[in-house]
Structure 1
Amino acid sequence: MQTSASLSRSTTFLADLPARSLLGQRWVYHSLFWTVLSLYNTLYFGFMLNNYTQAVFEFSVKFPFYLVLVYGNIYYLIPNFLLPGKYIQYFAYLILATLFSVAVIQTLINHLIYINYCPVGYHPNVLFDPKPTAKRMFDTFSVFGVTSGIKLTKDWIDNQQRIKELEGQSVRNELEFLKSQIQPHFFFNTLNNLYSLTIKKSDLAPEVVVKLSGLMSYMLYESDSQETTLKKEIEHIQNYLDLESLRFGKRLHLDFKIEGAIEQKKLPPLLLLPFIENAFKHGTSHETGALDLKISLKVLNEHLLFEVINPKFDNQQSRKKHKGLGLKNVKRRLDLLYSDKYELTIQPSDKEYFISLFIPLN
């Protein structure tokens, strides 16, 4: 047995239910439609006939037939004939059903209402008098048309919603796939760097492990979301640059500039790093092993301008078969994320590569 407190909570819960939860029920919409249709018949035809009682009697006879015709059309004729493109069969069955229904309705109205149940003064019409027959056929087809239009419109809206959901899911899946390709690519490069340090028994190896641990934490746990803060992304880039600085030492000449207010700005994670990876991979001279790298990150109102400049050498033929994985992935991600709302410029010259990315920030 419920206590008064539990009853009070139940009452409060029911009172707090949003109205849309009730309106979302199919039976509510159907009941509302038939209520409106019955009121229309009663008020409009009662006014036209100057007799509301007769209008109520007639609609009470027509109502069961309308139910059978409407739901038969919605749940049988439309899915089995109209939607598959069997238009001739659909309209043939529709006309036959209408003619049969109107004939039965005429008979019932004449013999049940006009003769037995209507007040004195009502006179039965001829069974197939053209005027009332045409009127009732028009009424029946009107109900068919309205309900069919509602059904087809609802199905079209639902179908468009499903298409959007599938497209959105497909985009999300592709973005996750592209991001998952970037992460192993990055770890492969970094582990190679760590391997070279351990071979040399460098004292820098432990520091590399610590930096790599921080990067792995970011990639595995913080980059799963659709967005990250620009500040965190910059910290991630800085950790990567620190790792490369440990590997290159004095051979790396790095100019990393940050301008503008980076607080409260957001962007997709792991979007900028592939450009920097590409610069390290293709901007190193085989002869000297040195790299002159310029990175500029500017926040301009609600946009980010990101630029990378690295040298270009002629002795990079052996790297061509490996190039482009991270860059191709990030281009595809940009297309999916921003459509035509971003600008990516890649300008190779005889001596350097220049990459510029302009994207909106959230």
Structure 2
Amino acid sequence: MREFKNIRTVIFHILAWVGVFIIPEFFRPDSPAIPSRIFSFQHFLTFNLPLVVFFYLNAYYLIPRIMRKKPLYAYVLSVIGIMAAILLFNQLLRMEMPPPQRMLPLREGRGIGMGAGGGMRLFLLFPLLFIWATSTSYRFIIDQLKADRQNKERENIHLKTELSFLRSQISPHFIFNILNSLVALSRKRPEQVEPAIIQLSQMIRYMLYENDELKVSIEKEIEYLQNYIDLQRLRFGDSVQVIFTVINETTGKSIEPMLLIPFIENAFKHGVGLIEKPVIEIHLHADDKDFWFTVTNKFNDADPKDESSGIGLVNVERRLKILYNNHHHLRLMKDDEYFKVELSIELQ
């Protein structure tokens, strides 16, 4: 890809120079005193070639090596010296040209050929100044584009590093909550511990092999949520009403792994305990354009929770901002009895 990009750049430069040298021919007066110079080797050698050399010399050597590393006057003197050298080279080369190849005078006694060396130097000076201005602008533009690209790459690296850190926080936090669930299950219904451990192994397998992927299919994420909810149903039995509905109308769509589980964990963390008739409702609906996810649970502010209970939600809010910035909407709502999460994501 990089080689292809370099080839495109070379082709663009060639076409640009061809345009620069051909366009003036369209404005040349139709007069035998001013012959066409488009195919003139003399004109190429004494006019076109010095301009091309000066353009790239200024853009790739004078500006990066002298202007930015040495005093400004060194750069100014270098530019003036190179311009003077080009003008001198042009005059000496024309003096060596045979008379038939010299350009015809525009007016008697005042031409742009050998009879008017000062006029010729003036004729070449203006294009040199134009090429210098164009070359300098070109250099500053490509440097700015490079700086923007590097800043974006650094930002992407920073976001990837932060995202990896956030994911690494999810796993131990999740395992901690699951182990608490198994401890409670072993006390209430020890016969259910074995199937619970089997489900836990499936979830850990998902965490180990799928969590490192940038995205996973929505079907796999739903399966993962289902295993977690089934595990909680084994733990709480009929003491907690759990409603989980899924409408998946997607075809090959994917989502960030383990993005939804913190909301469900939070519901089971705060939606059970010192609560009369606890209810947890989880609804998921997805099509090829949008993803909707809601979690509703009762809560009791008088029921104390450990200080780490808020890690999951803070974590997932940051991940959403990194991964789906301007393409998601998250609402956390709370009244006297219920806490509700509404999440919508534009699938791409």
Same fold? TM cut 0.5? yes
Query: What is the match of residue 61 of structure 1?
Result: 46
Q: 1:354 aligns with which of 321, 340, 344?
A: 340
1:344 counterpart = 2:330? yes
Amino acid at match of 2:324: Y
Output one character per residue of 1:246-270: Cα deviation in whole Å (capped at 9) or x when no partner: 1112212112222463554432221
Normalised by the length of structure 1, the TM-score is 0.78
Amino acid at match of 1:284: V
Query: What is the match of residue 215 of structure 2?
Result: 227
| 199-208 or 329-338, which deviates more | 199-208
How far apart in 2 are the matches of 1:303 and 1:87? 57
Query: What is the match of residue 302 of structure 1?
Result: 289
How far apart in 2 are the matches of 1:304 and 1:255? 19
Q: In the TM superposition, what is the alpha-carbon distance from 1:135 to its structure 2 partner?
A: 1.2
1:190-229 equivalent positions in 2, closer than 5 A: 190-198=178-186, 202-229=190-217
Query: What is the match of residue 78 of structure 1?
Result: 63
1:325 counterpart = 2:308? no
Amino acid at match of 1:124: M
Output one character per residue of 1:57-82: Cα deviation in whole Å (capped at 9) or x when no partner: 14313466446533431232211344
How far apart in 1 are the matches of 2:138 and 2:198? 63
Contact kept, 8 Å, 1:307 with 1:354, in 2: the verdict is yes
Q: 1:125 aligns with which of 93, 98, 115?
A: 115
How far apart in 2 are the matches of 1:184 and 1:233? 18
How far apart in 2 are the matches of 1:55 and 1:42? 12
Structure-2 change in CA distance of 1:119 and 1:167 (3 Å): closer
Contact kept, 8 Å, 1:42 with 1:59, in 2: the verdict is no
Query: What is the match of residue 96 of structure 1?
Result: 81
Amino acid at match of 2:342: S
Task: Work out the number of aligned pairs and report it.
Answer: 338
Q: 2:160 aligns with which of 161, 165, 172?
A: 172
Output one character per residue of 1:1-28: Cα deviation in whole Å (capped at 9) or x when no partner: xxxxxxxxxxxxxxxxx9x849627766
Structure-2 change in CA distance of 1:38 and 1:340 (3 Å): closer
How far apart in 2 are the matches of 1:40 and 1:125? 27
Structure-2 change in CA distance of 1:228 and 1:74 (3 Å): same
Structure-2 change in CA distance of 1:264 and 1:55 (3 Å): closer
Contact kept, 8 Å, 1:228 with 1:268, in 2: the verdict is yes
Structure-2 change in CA distance of 1:302 and 1:21 (3 Å): closer
Amino acid at match of 1:215: M
How far apart in 1 are the matches of 2:124 and 2:102? 22
| 30-39 or 169-178, which deviates more | 30-39
Contact kept, 8 Å, 2:211 with 2:258, in 1: the verdict is yes
Q: In the TM superposition, what is the alpha-carbon distance from 1:279 to its structure 2 partner?
A: 0.8
How far apart in 2 are the matches of 1:357 and 1:120? 76
Query: What is the match of residue 134 of structure 1?
Result: 122
Secondary structure at the counterpart of residue 294 of structure 2: strand
Q: How large is the Cα RMSD of the aligned pairs?
A: 3.6
Identical aligned pairs, as a percentage?
A: 28
Q: In the TM superposition, what is the alpha-carbon distance from 1:179 to its structure 2 partner?
A: 1.9
